[in-house]
Every structure is written in C-alpha cells, then in structure tokens.
Chain A
Amino acid sequence: MDSTMRLWSLGLVACLPLLAQPAGQFVPLRGLPGFEKPEELLTQLAAKKGGKAEVNHFCVLGYRDKSGYTFGWVYWQEGSALIVWDPSALPHPPLWLSRRYLDLRRDVVATEDQIRGSTYLVTQGWVEGVKSDCSKIGDRYVIQGHPAKSKSDDRR
C-alpha cells in the first residue's frame, strides 16, 4: 500500500445515547468482531471511488438499533457519502456495495415532509446530527495519498 495513513481516536464512550436518533445508541466499534481493519476497507473505498482527492477523511460511528444489532455509519467527507457498514468476517465486502449508500449530494432533503415515504432519503438535519455526533465520539480516519484504482478490488 503506497498511501500513508494517520489515525486517531476521539475517545469513544460506550453506549452513549444517540443524539441524532433517540431510539438507538452509539457504541464503540473498534475491536468488535466484524469491524476489524477499518483502514483497509476505507482505503479500498477511496481507491475505488475516491476520484482525485489526495486526502480522504472518514468518520465511523457505531449504532446499536432497537433489536440489539450493531452496525456502523461511515461518513466520507470527500466522497460526500454516508454508508452502512455491517459487521462480517474478513475479508469485508466492499463498502460501495453496502445495502445503504447515501450520496449526500443527491439523497438528502431539507425537511421531513419532503421524504414522503422514501426508503432511503434523509433530512439535512439528520445528516448534520450524525456528522456532529461522529465528530464528538466517532472514530476518525485520514487516508492520505491517492491509491491507484485496481480492478481486482471489484472482486467480492
């Protein structure tokens, strides 16, 4: 890997109430089974979909839903995306094939009234809430460099 990676933690706190959605909870993802090696997954995503960005900023926020299932939301600043990261064994399926990949330039509306039953559109307020929460207690990753695209990355 010719990119260098810088990583820091912002002090995750276990099971904090979710600020954006009171029904769920934040949980730390780092170290949980199924969420290993996030850097590899994010580097793969940036290489595949990163365009010309030389630095890619990610923030990963764990979310435990009401059933007890825990998954991640990956906020990608340069890619303008919020992506679901479901836990799986290594090697992880690529994030761009996630069951939910929100393009923040296209899949965001101003108010709840504009959602009108959509199975994927979200409000700007919700997005800002996730980003804000992530900046406070999520895991942040900066992937520097401009990895070359690789066709082998298409393999599942």
Chain B
Amino acid sequence: MPQFTETDDKTAITALTLAPGSHRRVRFLEEQKATTATVKSSAPTSVKVGHSTLFDGPHGIWTVDLTAVAKGAATVEGKRKDGGAATIAVTVTDPLPPMTLPADNTESGMVARLLLAEVMTPEYFAYDPAVAKTEMQWMVVVLHNRLSSPERFRARGATTIAQIIKAEGQFAGFTDYPRMSARVQSRIHAVLDVAKKLDASLRDEYRAHVQAAIDVASAPPIQDPSPNGLIGWKTAGATSPSAEFADFGVPKLGNQFYQWKSKP
C-alpha cells in the first residue's frame, strides 16, 4: 500500500497540523517502482501541494512539499498509476503561543534548563507530570539547601544558585554555563522542539513539561519535604553522592533523592 512518510522514509504520516504560511516536506512512497504518481490537495486555498519530485525511482519514493496557505482543512492524496493511494488529513490552524525559556543569563533561566536536562521527559512510560513537577521542586530545594554549606559541594564562598550549579563536577554539562555541554544543549533543544511543533504527537505533554520547569524555576523553593534537609539526587542505583547522605524516599522517575544523614 502506498503511504506518506516523514523524510526518513519510515515514519508514516496520516495527519498533519500546520500554521498558516508554514511549509512541510514529506515523502510519498508508492511501495513499488516509480510510476506516474500524482499528489493533489482537496482544498488548495488552505493547503497547496508544490512540485513533487522523484527522490528514489527504483523504490518509488517522491518528495512532496506542502504549503499551508490559510486556516482550514484539506486532504492531500497521493495516487500511483494503478490507483493505489494514500492520504494525509491536513489542518491549518493558528500557530502556538510562543514557548520561551527565561533568558539564559537569569537564575530562573539557568535553573529551568537544569530541570529540563535532569528530569525524565513525557515520552517515557514512567512519566507522570505531577511526579515530574515534584521532582523539579525537590531539585530546587536541593540547590537552595546547598547554599548553607557550599564548600561541601565544590562551591566554596558561593552565595548564589548560579555558583552552586556551576560548581565543578556537580551538575552534568553546567560547569561552564551559559555554555552547556553539547549533549545537554541538544537534549534541551530537543525538548523545546517538540513543545513548539504544532503536530508533534506529545506536543501538549511537552508544553506542560516545559511550563512546569519554567514555573518551578521562577518560583521560590517549596518547603523542604525532608526532615534533615534535601541535599542531592542521583540516578537510582548509581554511586551515592556522599557518605554523609541518606536516601530520602524511593526514587522518582529514576532519580534517587538524598537528605543529610543527620541535621547539619
């Protein structure tokens, strides 16, 4: 059966949501050697099909460029010579409200980025938005608690959260902030990309996730949930951050939190 796919020629597409004025490249796979295939829109005033070019003749793969002209809906149909066809239901709708992190030179911007780097994202089975937000809040409590004894966290003399985060070897990828490690930067960009993409399958979940990070980073820390002071976290099962720490509760989304063994 013919199908439309992303430009990886694998990921099938049956529906798309686009903003007016935007463009989208897809592929039409005939699933046989190329014929004189055609691709048409049912409503060119909403969705226009650009010139379709043959990308891979032996495999019958066509590149198709779509343009969202105006709000509305259209069915884009690709048809091969023998009549075999595939369709995409395209909706053209208002663009999403912007989703922007606080500036990277602000404390909230730095913390929001740290939270997005450290907390599990919505595509995973275990993800729960309420737990993710609690985890973010606990992370902020940890950052603030470290200000009481920064010298124990390679941040001697630190008086700001930024100095705590940038302390050598404490938070992966953040030592040279605002220059983050390439991997951490890619991870944060990937999260934001999904949150900004109109037709991403988990777009709303990602937007809520990013918003939670922004909200938590911009708010004062919540009351410390631990009796002795929440002071660290680590991937569950990895080496404990310190002999002075004790587990606090069970891991959340794969991260174990720690409190002081006894009140400092």
List A residues at the B interface (Cβ < 8 Å): 18, 20-21, 23-24, 33-34, 63, 65-67, 69, 71, 73, 84, 86-89, 91, 93, 96-97, 99-101, 107, 112-113, 115-123, 126, 152, 155-156
Please tell me which one of the listed residues B153, B233, B237, B241 contacts residue A63 in the complex, with CB atoms under 8 A apart: B237
The one of B7, B120, B234, B253 that contacts A119, using a Cβ cutoff of 8 Å: B234
Distance (whole angstroms) from the CB of A62 to the closest CB of chain B:
11
Q: Does the CB pair B251–A69 fall under 8 Å?
A: yes
Q: Are A71 and B254 in contact (CB under 8 A)?
A: yes
Q: Which of B7, B252, B254 meets A99, CB within 8 Å?
A: B254
Is B232 in contact with A86, judged by CB distance below 8 angstroms?
no
- Which A residue sits closest to B117, measured CB to CB? A99
Q: By the criterion CB–CB under 8 Å, are A18 and B237 in contact? A: yes
Known: A21-B237, A122-B238, A156-B194. A69 touches B183 (CB 8 A): no
- How far is B121's CA from A89's CA once the two chains are assembled, in angstroms? 13
B30 interface residue, CB < 8 Å from A? no
One of B8, B121, B125, B241 near A118 (C-beta < 8 A): B241
Chief secondary structure at chain A's binding surface: loop
Beta-carbon contact of A115 and B241 below 8 Å: yes
Q: Which residues of A contact B170 (CB under 8 A)?
A: 116-119
What is the size category of the interface that chain B forms with chain A?
35 or more
Given known contacts A65-B254, A65-B256, A93-B190, what 11 new A-B pairs fall within 8 Å (CB)?
A67-B250, A71-B236, A84-B254, A88-B123, A115-B241, A116-B152, A117-B245, A119-B233, A152-B7, A155-B8, A156-B193
Q: Does B11 contact A (CB under 8 A)?
A: yes
How far, in angstroms, from A141 to B245 measured CA to CA in the complex? Answer: 36
* A120 with B171: CB separation less than 8 A: yes
